[in-house]
Structure 1
Amino acid sequence: MKLNHMRRLVLVLVMTILGFWIEGCHCKIVQFIFGDSLSDVGNNRYLSRSLAQASLPWYGIDFGNGLPNGRFSNGRTVADIIGDNMGLPRPPAFLDPSLSEDVILENGVNYASGGGGILNETGSYFIQRFSLYKQIELFQGTQELIRNKIGKEAADEFFQGARYVVALGSNDFINNYLMPVYSDSWTYNDDTFVQYLTGTLQDQLKLLHKLGARQLMVFGLGPMGCIPLQRVLSTSGNCQEKANKLALSFNKASSKLVDDLATQLPNSSYKFGDAYDVVDDVISNPSKYGFENSDSPCCSFGNIRPALTCIPASRLCKDRSKYVFWDEYHPSDSANELIANELIKKFGFVRVDQTNAPSPAPALAPAPSPED
């Protein structure tokens, strides 16, 4: 009897320990980010043949040690800032050599890739980039790693408790539909292309839900016809209205799509983050928001434009906090902060960890070779 009693105690103890690992893994809430260059934190640095790169100075000048870190900005991304305010760790790039199962469990993963789009064909002239379908495929590999590490039940809990960001679409227009070298530009018209794009996005969001994504935000597009590259390519220097109308059409269709999925998919909290109006107002009335320039990049090659990326020979503006755009494509840290704060206010995001304050905005480093 005593022997059987001891065996039962040992069995209970073993089951308790196993239960701790399976059901009580103390999983942190982390983020998984899918996106393009607006969210890339270094994946393209490891795509050696990619032409979409932010690996040269002065990218990253106002972030960390001031050296290039893979972000297509002088500082933080919108996802960085929202995550900081929610008390979430900043997920490292999927291709970061230091990525491991333990790092994933502590910080999540960022799959975003400069030049990537919702469509597989988008951005092909960048040679290497991760489309959204490829990013989801990489996420599936991540899930397999975590299941092998902590078991299926704990992994399901971990992935269902995480936060998800999907932020792509501008490349599908700027580096696909609006370029006559791509067949999509003559295969579709404006309406049918938006339908094709959002139909593909619907399939991708459903797939992410099937893989466990329960709390997810889709970022809308800003007035992409007003980025410096689009302005300088126009004869007037004004915003390209066709591109802006396409962004509005995409946002309208995607907002409805996300709302519909939120009611159809079980246990889902899907939101659409639309900051078009505030970004449009910033560009139209920069002084209202503390900016001085909203039509040209802070980092430029003098009068030689468009220099598509910021390079060491580029000249920097005198005060980066006063420029809406960092380079021909991408917003500055200050503009990203304004966009992030608008989304935080609109959705009432709450912190997942009340013990840590959000990271402060970076102090701007002195600007080399300031523009007179």
Structure 2
Amino acid sequence: MAAAAAVMMVGAAMVMALAASAAAPLVTFVFGDSLTEVGNNNYLQLSLAKSDYPHYGIDFDAAKPTGRFTNGRTIGDIISAKLGIPPPPPYLSLSPTDDAIFRGVNYASGGAGILNDTGLYFIERLSLDDQIDKFERTKLQMRAKIGDEAANKLCNEAVYFIGIGSNDYVNNFLQPFLADGQQFTHEEFLELLVSTLAEQLMRLYQLGARKMIFHGLGPLGCIPSQRMKSSHGQCLNQVNQWVQHFNDKVKQLITTLNSHLPSSKMIFADTYQPVLHLIDNPSTYGFKVSNTSCCKVEAKLGGLCLPNSKLCDNRNDYVFWDAFHPSDAANVVLANHFFNIMFPNSTH
């Protein structure tokens, strides 16, 4: 699964990159993990990384689970609504001839990571490599329908949201029974992560992606699943330090890629400090609890909200829904912040 939600702290460069798209309906392609999944894993028969059961979706349309790992909407759902466009559908829900691909697609998959072995114990999930494979198929479908030139133009002008890496820590390096945490130092693991991500971003660029927004990781050491490992429920400082090292390396990577790739407008959205501020100061944002989850979860059973779990009395009081994921109310705060930075002159 994934961890702490993202506030997209972006600069003028992102605003400029999106300005041209803001006038027309935005075409967005989403890559990531359970923070942005909207139901792909529902179509993976053997996947153990699913949220297609109560109480997930209890505050969504019709109060039914959809495969979103929260009680309501994701950040992407909220931003799409503000833009007046439907949220991109899950790739695996589409037929090969579906024209929905021209309005955007969501490839995100709960349990996914940058590394292909991340989330291995979930049996089935779409790693970032898998997601890029699916995007390549999407582009082939576009080319077959509208020709090479139009397909290339659409892909060049679309915006690509990429939020991934949390599981590479939470469900890989930080798990003592998995090989990566035993055979690598953190510096070695970080080098593997960043070098792999570099190849993946290059591949997206070669497929036509130009406006890529990579969401940096939030303070994973402060999410409920990690706090449970401490003696008094405090944040794990070592984990947070590792996350900041990851963010620094990815920021450097994106600067390097932009300097070498023509027309590249990759952006690193720094999420760490804003999310930490939300967790450390919940009352500032209208919340009461940020150190545990609304749904009373059992860490030994994976930290997800099970149908027999007890819920808090007021879901809007909690920053976290389960041991990993923000609540709908927290996603509203984060999405509004992100939107106001991307579109400062919007009337939405």
TM-score normalised according to structure 1 size: 0.82
Deviating more after overlay: 249-258 vs 89-98: 89-98
Question: Match of 2:104?
Answer: 108
Q: How does 1:81-120 map to 2 (within 5 A)?
A: 81-97=78-94, 100-105=97-102, 107-120=103-116
The secondary structure found in structure 2 opposite 1:294 is strand
The letter for the 1-side match of 2:55 is: W
Distance 2:83 2:129 in 1: 27
Distance 1:84 1:263 in 2: 34
Q: How does 1:244-263 map to 2 (within 5 A)?
A: 244-263=240-259
Deviation of 1:178 after TM superposition, in Å, equals: 1.1
1:258–1:272 Cα contact (<8 Å) kept: yes
Displaced runs of 4 or more, over 6 A: none
Q: Does 1:343 align with 2:338?
A: yes
Spell out, residue by residue over 1:239-293, the C-alpha distance to the aligned partner (whole angstroms, 9 max, x if none).
1112111111111111121222222211121111112111111111211211100
Deviation of 1:188 after TM superposition, in Å, equals: 1.8
Question: Match of 1:313?
Answer: 308
Distance 2:81 2:251 in 1: 25
Q: How does 1:23-38 map to 2 (within 5 A)?
A: 29-38=26-35
2:96–2:141 Cα contact (<8 Å) kept: no
Question: Match of 2:48?
Answer: 51
Structure 2 stretches lacking a partner, 5+ long:
1-23
Q: Determine which of 165, 173, 186 is the counterpart of 1:177.
A: 173
CA RMSD after TM alignment: 1.9
Q: Does 1:333 align with 2:328?
A: yes
Deviation of 1:120 after TM superposition, in Å, equals: 0.5
Distance 2:159 2:306 in 1: 34
Question: How many pairs does the alignment contain?
Answer: 324
The secondary structure found in structure 2 opposite 1:142 is helix
The letter for the 1-side match of 2:328 is: D
Q: Does 1:168 align with 2:168?
A: no
1:146–1:155 Cα contact (<8 Å) kept: yes
The secondary structure found in structure 2 opposite 1:72 is coil
The letter for the 2-side match of 1:328 is: A
Deviation of 1:204 after TM superposition, in Å, equals: 0.7
Q: Does 1:287 align with 2:283?
A: yes
Change (3 A) 1:84 1:195: farther
Spell out, residue by residue over 1:104-157, the C-alpha distance to the aligned partner (whole angstroms, 9 max, x if none).
11x311000000000011010010001000100011111111111111111111
Distance 1:215 1:198 in 2: 19
1:216–1:270 Cα contact (<8 Å) kept: yes
Deviating more after overlay: 222-231 vs 185-194: 185-194
Question: Match of 1:362?
Answer: none
Deviation of 1:180 after TM superposition, in Å, equals: 2.2
Deviation of 1:305 after TM superposition, in Å, equals: 4.8
The letter for the 2-side match of 1:52 is: A
The letter for the 1-side match of 2:288 is: E
1:29–1:163 Cα contact (<8 Å) kept: yes
Deviation of 1:89 after TM superposition, in Å, equals: 3.2
Q: How does 1:211-230 map to 2 (within 5 A)?
A: 211-230=207-226
Q: How does 1:191-230 map to 2 (within 5 A)?
A: 191-230=187-226
1:282–1:289 Cα contact (<8 Å) kept: yes
Deviation of 1:347 after TM superposition, in Å, equals: 4.3
Question: Match of 1:144?
Answer: 140
1:101–1:145 Cα contact (<8 Å) kept: no
1:294–1:325 Cα contact (<8 Å) kept: yes
Spell out, residue by residue over 1:281-334, the C-alpha distance to the aligned partner (whole angstroms, 9 max, x if none).
111121121110001111115xx5555211221111111111000011101112
Larger Rg: 1
The letter for the 2-side match of 1:40 is: E
The letter for the 2-side match of 1:48 is: Q
1:31–1:89 Cα contact (<8 Å) kept: no
TM-score normalised according to structure 2 size: 0.88
Change (3 A) 1:337 1:100: farther
Distance 2:344 2:74 in 1: 17
Deviation of 1:350 after TM superposition, in Å, equals: 6.8
Q: Does 1:131 align with 2:127?
A: yes
The letter for the 2-side match of 1:162 is: A
1:214–1:270 Cα contact (<8 Å) kept: yes
Instruction: Indicate the percent of aligned positions where both proteins have the same amino acid.
Output: 46
The secondary structure found in structure 1 opposite 2:100 is helix
